[in-house]
Chains A and B, each alone.
Chain A
Amino acid sequence: MTMYILRRLASFFATLLGAAIVIFLVLEILPGDPAAVTLGLNAAPEALAALRAEMGLDQPALLRFFNWIGGLLTGDLGLSYTYRVPVTQLIGERMVVTLPLASMAILLASAIGIPLGALAAANHNRAGDAAVMVFAQAGLAIPNFWFGLLLVLVFAVGAGWLPAGGFPGWQAGFWPALKSLLLPAIALALPQAAILARVTRSAMLETMQEDYVRTARAKGVSRRRTMLRHVLRNALIPVVTVLGLQFSVLLAGAIIIENVFALPGLGRLVFQSIAQHDLIVVKDLVMLFSALVVFINFAIELLYGLIDPRLRQAS
């Protein structure tokens, strides 16, 4: 297991370094001067030069690259061009929105998707199965921004139970903050739940064909117990893989959903930073997202090892 972890860890860091180089180069060749964006259509050349110096844009690219990497390693992500506050602070402020939002979405999606998928598999070729498949089809077909707008229309504009958007901050209290994350989390969770339901169903149907399942049933283990102990557990590997893959989809979805609900999360920060040419924030965030995705994959590979002991030996 140790070798397995070490090798995964090495590829984890190599991937991150590669990502850092690509991110820096891509943003380097992007046209557009952040100082010009800040000062607008009437700016005097002297003011532009002063601002470029203040932002450190007058330094050579290589130096800026090493400064950036050095900063990343020491936890100093630099100063946002637009907001003029440390990027770590910005990311910290946004993390407390996106992290609970994404967690709620993943939990909701798992809590709905996995049982529904299991239910469908258990009722294969019966009415319950068909109903779940219809739900999954709809969940995949409905774009989540549209579903988000629908939720707002029904629960905020119509019923007035929940806010239409925005985030009062956790300092406003747990319940008001949670309330404003509820609709976006549901909107974000719907397509994920649909995918999970489908994956769980097909993985379970496949596992049900396995010899050990038949053996368990032949030994007299109840149908219910076989499904839970043998079928579902072995079907979890593809489900966990999909959960991991969906994490990056979730980040992309969060950009849209956070805009629909005017939530001050990381997704909206990416969107704004690109629009305002706050390249330093874009750089740091893309790096953070890459690190997260790479890390999740890493964690999932470790999870495989836990779920299926055979994989540990195989490597």
Chain B
Amino acid sequence: MTTRRDLLAGAGLAALATQLPLAAFAQAKDSVTIGMTLEPPTLDPTSGAAQAIREVVLQNIFEGLVAMDRTGKLVPALAESWTLAPDNLTYTFKLRPNARFHDGTPFSSRDVKFSFERAVAPDSTNAQRWIFMPIESIETPDPITVIVKLKQPTANFIYGLSWGDAIIVSQATAANNKTNPVGTGPFKFARWNRGDRLELARNDEYWGTKPSLAKATFRFISDPQAQVAALRAGDIDVFTNLSAPEAIPQLKADPKLKVTLGKTEGETILAINNAKAPFSDVRVRHAISHVLDRKTIALGIYGFDLDYIGSHFSPLHPAYVDLTGTYPVDLAKARALLAAAGFPKGFECTLRLPPPAYARRGGEIVAALLAQIGITAKIEPLEFPQWLERVFKARDFDLTIISHTEPLDIANYARDDYYFQYRNPEFKALIETIDRTVDEAQRNKLYGDAQRMLARDAVNGFLFILPKITVTKADLDGMWTDWPLPLTPLAEVRWR
């Protein structure tokens, strides 16, 4: 229990900290400064795909009906509980009776209906419409009950509701959420100096457990050297995903800091154009898989071992199957496979790389590995918009390296025209079955089959899971170190 005196003391301390911006007071124990690489372009996660938006606002300012916890488990949020009728179609959500938006408006079932209908409206720019597409109808018999009927059983419906694209917004304020977000979460938006920092303040009216922090400041530092300098100078208390892996030994040696290497949902792949010869020949793809020495690639990019993958699936998910041993490094076998496919001397191709360091550095190493069996990959660095246009949209590429950071995006392999163009009716049918399999154990088994199928066909070169490097001050607790969803929830963060 927080007593009135504690609150007063806290407020007094906060006031002191703002009035005396001295180094000693900058570490007042109820505020935290968080470093991030990218700045969110807007603050409305329903209007764009930028991960940085979610990292700042999801579970801090905005909440969904359900949330994901740090282990990747679904937990209640604005919905206290929910049930699925035996028809596997009708979800009944019981809402929190005492939740309020930051502007004081009470939260009710009407807001849920408004938010979901807004997401699929014709002028909606929601990047994840698939979450809401299965909805047949939404009923609101009373302010704290929502009944959602689906067109067909959809296993991942509830899961999708934990995403940033499914946050609940208020009709009165939704239009302004891009610049002045109003949600129901434990923190309120306070101030945004674009290009530098964004401040959140504790929401004292929060329906759930009040956060220990009164104030949180996100600082945006894109230069890796500047990130390390800010940490070492003590300007920031935590960096959520450091871009300077080479600085890890130096940071680990600092007793004031602790470094954690976490897992993410970022499957990093050597994507292959399956529709284009010679890559349409499975033997060529097998040959490529046999030369991709994951450890060499990881050490070359990061300087340390990573979590490797053998299919398009993150080890964070319970349905993960370890398939990393499917294609052991074997140059002789790779050469034989290439010869059998009609390329005894190899061939030339292009390797188009987006800007992130894992792609640019990884590309050099992959090209060197491929050269061992005579595949000469010409490296072409691209800016991200050009990568999106040429590789992703026009599918004009041979090979590329990219990390797919959305959870459960294995379903993209069922899209015929998705950029790597894996066209397999068997796989499509399997994904459809998975979508309709509500039983979790059964569904996880099917996910295992899907992973094996992708590994068997060597659709892409499956490399590793993007690591999340979290650096925190030694006496700060509660930060997420894994990323089942890319978020920075601050409700449980506290100074020791």
Residues of chain A at the chain B interface (Cβ within 8 Å): 31-34, 36-44, 46-47, 50-51, 53-54, 82-85, 90, 93-94, 149, 152-153, 156-157, 160, 163-169, 172-173, 176, 259-265, 268-269, 272, 274-277
B411-461 CB contacts (< 8 Å) to partner A:
412
- With a cutoff of 8 Å between Cβ atoms, the chain A residues found around residue B21 in the complex are 168, 172-173, 176
Indicate which residue in B196, B235, B384 contacts A264 across the interface (CB closer than 8 Å). B196
Report the nearest A residue to B394, measured CB to CB.
Answer: A31
Q: Does B194 contact A (CB under 8 A)?
A: yes
A8 to B387, CA, bound (A): 44
Please pick, from B194, B234, B388, the residue contacting A90 in the complex, using a CB distance under 8 A: B194
Bound CA–CA A31/B129 (angstroms)? 26
Residue of B nearest to A52 (CB): B125
Tell whether A165 pairs with B48 under 8 Å between CB atoms, given A42-B409, A173-B21, A260-B226: no
* A255–chain B nearest beta-carbon distance, Å: 12
Question: Are B383 and A42 closer than 8 Å at their CB atoms?
Answer: no
Contact present for B48 and A275 (CB under 8 Å) = no
Contact A157 B392 (CB under 8 A): no
* A153 to B229 CA separation, bound complex (whole angstroms): 7
The reply to whether B124 and A47 contact each other, CB–CB distance below 8 Å, is yes
Q: Is the CB of A157 within 8 A of B232?
A: yes
Known interface pairs A84-B179, A173-B21, A272-B195; 4 further A-B residue pairs with C-beta atoms within 8 A, sorted by A's residue number: A33-B393, A42-B128, A47-B124, A149-B229
Assess the A40–B49 pair: CB atoms within 8 A: yes
The 10 lowest CB-CB distance pairs between A and B, nearest first, are A40-B49, A264-B195, A32-B385, A82-B41, A277-B385, A264-B196, A164-B233, A164-B229, A156-B233, A262-B221
Q: Say which residue of B127, B178, B388 sits within 8 Å of A42 (CB atoms).
A: B127
Closest chain B residue to A83 by CB distance? B41
Q: Given known contacts A84-B179, A166-B196, A262-B223, is B127 in contact with A40 (CB within 8 Å)?
A: yes
Q: Does B324 contact A (CB under 8 A)?
A: no
Contact yes or no, B42 A83, CB < 8 A: yes
Question: What are 23 sample pairs from A and B whose C-beta atoms fall under 8 A apart?
Answer: A32-B389, A40-B48, A40-B49, A42-B49, A42-B406, A44-B127, A44-B129, A84-B179, A85-B179, A152-B226, A153-B229, A156-B229, A156-B233, A157-B229, A166-B196, A166-B219, A168-B21, A168-B197, A176-B21, A262-B219, A263-B195, A265-B195, A276-B41
Q: Is B386 interfacial (CB 8 A cutoff)?
A: yes
Closest B residue by C-beta to A268: B195
Instruction: Say yes or no: A41 contacts B124, CB within 8 Å.
Output: no
Contact of B196 among A38, A51, A149, A263 (CB under 8 A): A263
Q: Which A residues are CB-close (under 8 A) to B406?
A: 41-42
Q: Which residues of B contact A157 (CB under 8 A)?
A: 229, 232-233
**Does B125 lie within 8 Å of A39, measured CB to CB?**
yes
The answer for the CA separation of A211 and B372 in the assembled complex, in Å, is: 73
Among candidates A32, A40, A51, A93, residue contacting B194 with C-beta atoms closer than 8 Å:
A93
> Given the complex, which residues of B lie within 8 Å of A269, measured CB to CB?
195
Interchain CB contact under 8 A, A41 and B392: yes
Contact B385–A31 (Cβ < 8 Å): yes
**Is the beta-carbon distance between A32 and B127 smaller than 8 angstroms?**
no
Q: Give, as a whole number of angstroms, the nearest-CB distance from B217 to chain A.
A: 10
Q: Do A260 and B389 touch across chains, with their CB atoms under 8 A apart? A: no
Are B385 and A84 in contact, with the CB atoms below 8 A?
Answer: no
Minimum CB–CB distance from A196 to chain B (whole Å) comes to: 28
Task: Contact check, A33 vs B196: say whether CB atoms are below 8 A apart.
Answer: no
Chain A residues lying within 8 Å of B48, measured Cβ to Cβ, are 38-40
Q: Is the CB of B233 within 8 A of A152?
A: yes
Contact B233 A37 (CB under 8 A): no
Give the complex CA separation of A46 and B128 in angstroms: 11
Asked whether A272 lies within 8 Å of B129 as measured between CB atoms, the reply is: no
CB of B39 closer than 8 Å to a CB of A: yes
CA separation between A147 and B138, bound complex, in Å? 61
Q: Please indicate the chain B residues that have their CB under 8 angstroms from the CB of A268 in the complex.
A: 195
Q: Across the interface, do A169 and B196 meet the contact criterion of CB distance under 8 Å?
A: yes
A40-B50, A149-B229 known; A82+B42 contact, CB < 8 A: yes
CB neighbours of B124 from chain A (8 A):
46-47, 50
Q: In the assembled complex, how far is the CB of residue B110 from the closest CB belonging to chain A, in whole angstroms?
A: 24
Contact A37-B125, Cβ < 8 Å, known A93-B194, A157-B232: no
| A contact residues around B385 at 8 Å (CB) | 31-34, 36-37, 277
Produce 1/0 per residue, B217-232, CB < 8 A to A. 0011111011001101
Which residues from B are CB-within-8-Å of A54?
123, 125
| A93, closest chain B residue (CB) | B194
Docked complex Cα distance between A36 and B388 (Å): 7
Q: Is the CB of A93 within 8 A of B386?
A: no
Q: Contact between A164 and B226 (Cβ–Cβ < 8 Å)?
A: yes
A41:B225 contact, CB within 8 angstroms: no
Q: Which of B126, B178, B226 has the most CB of A within 10 A?
A: B226
* Shortest beta-carbon distance from B240 to chain A in Å: 15
Q: Contact: A51 with B235, CB < 8 Å?
A: no
Closest to A54 in B: B125
B230 touching A165, Cβ below 8 Å: yes
Q: Whose C-beta in chain B lies nearest to the C-beta of A44?
A: B129
Chain A residues within 8 Å of B129, by CB: 44, 46-47
A167–B48 CA distance with the chains assembled, in angstroms: 27
Q: Min CB distance, B267 to chain A, in Å?
A: 12
The docked-state distance in angstroms from the alpha carbon of A312 to that of B314 is 74
Q: Once the chains are docked, how many angstroms separate the CA of A130 from the CA of B458? A: 67
Query: Within 8 Å CB of A153, what residues of B?
Result: 229
Separation of A152 and B225 alpha carbons in the complex (Å): 10
Distance between A161 CB and nearest chain B CB, rounded to angstroms: 9
User: In the complex the two chains form, what is the Cα distance from A101 to B282 in whole Å?
Assistant: 58
Given contacts A39-B48, A166-B219, A272-B195, contact A262 B125 (CB under 8 A): no
Do the beta carbons of A41 and B386 come within 8 Å of each other?
no
**B19-47 Cβ-contact flags toward A at 8 Å (1 or 0):** 00101000000000000000101100001
B100 contacts A by Cβ under 8 Å: no
- CB pair B229–A169 under 8 Å, yes or no, is no
CA gap between A169 and B141 in the complex, in Å: 49
Q: Is B317 an interface residue (CB 8 A)?
A: no
Cα separation A264 to B39 with both chains bound (whole Å): 11
| Contact of A262 with B226 in the complex, beta carbons under 8 Å | yes
Chain B residue contacts of A82, Cβ below 8 A? 41-42
With most chain B CB atoms within 10 A of its CB, the pick from A36, A173, A274 is A36
Proximity bits, B378-406, A CB within 8 Å = 1, else 0 = 00000111101110110000000000101
A47/B179 in contact, CB under 8 A: no
Task: Determine whether B209 belongs to the interface, using a CB cutoff of 8 Å to chain A.
Answer: no
Whether A50 pairs with B122 at a CB distance below 8 angstroms is: yes
For the complex, give the distance between the alpha carbons of A31 and B387 in Å.
9
Question: How far is B355's CA from A277's CA once the two chains are assembled, in angstroms?
Answer: 13
Inside 8 A of A276's CB, which chain B residues have their CB? 41
Are B49 and A39 touching (Cβ within 8 A)?
A: yes
Cα distance A160–B389 when bound, in Å?
A: 45
Residues of B within 8 A of A172 (CB): 21
A33 and B390 alpha carbons, distance in the complex (Å): 11
Please state if B193 and A260 are interface contacts (CB–CB under 8 Å): no
Q: Which residue on A lies nearest to B355, using beta carbons?
A: A275
Q: CB-CB < 8 A to A90: which residues of B? A: 194
Specify which chain A residues have a CB less than 8 angstroms from the CB of B229 in the assembled complex.
149, 152-153, 156-157, 164-165
On whether the beta carbons of A166 and B197 are closer than 8 Å, the reply is yes
Q: In the complex, are the beta carbons of B235 and A38 less than 8 A apart?
A: no
Are A262 and B230 within 8 A (Cβ)?
yes
